[in-house]
Amino acid sequence: MRKVRPLLKTLCIPALLFLGACGNDKVVVVSQPPPPPVVQPVLGDLFFDFDKSELRMDAVEQLKTNANWLEVNRGRKVVIEGHCDERGTNEYNLALGERRANSAKDYLVNLGADSSRLKSISYGEERPFALGHNEEAWAQNRRAHFVAE
């Protein structure tokens, strides 16, 4: 009988717990899965063709996304940095970078952005993103870069 008691304890206690759980009359409510996360717009750079400050179609699409970011983040200001590749004189590239930054700023203002929240500055060729000396690097350096303050 002594061997039977430990066996009864090890079998009966889990069985009683199981039966007690099965006899529960509570209604089980299955919760809905959480909604997908809201994707916030992100400030992105614009890229320009060689020696140009006119907006390309891909730049216009990015500017619309940047305008959405400004709408969501109403308390933030943005600096638009104009950049160029290494070709051309420093003076010419500073002027071209300024035209690029102003082109982006003007488009955002036309979309309804408050101009007092936008500041433009030109760095010309002084702050390259890509350090190469070929068209692939130059294409990455011809840009308007957006920095949130």
36 has pLDDT over 90: no
- pLDDT tens across 61-81, in order? 999 999 999 999 999 999 999
On whether residue 5 sits in a domain, the answer given is no
**b/e 82-108 (16+ beta carbons within 10 angstroms → b):** bbbbeebeeeebbbbbbbbbbbbbebb
- pLDDT tens across 132-145, in order? 999 999 999 999 99
Phi, psi torsion values for 134, nearest 5 degrees: -145, 175
4 has pLDDT over 60: no
Residue 11's alpha-carbon distances to 4, 14, 49, 137, in angstroms, are 10, 6, 79, 73
Q: What's the pTM?
A: 0.73
Number of separate domains in the chain: 1
CATH number at residue 73: 3.30.1330.60
C-beta of residue 96 within 8 angstroms of C-beta of residue 136: no
The range of the structural domain enclosing residue 95 comes to 46-148
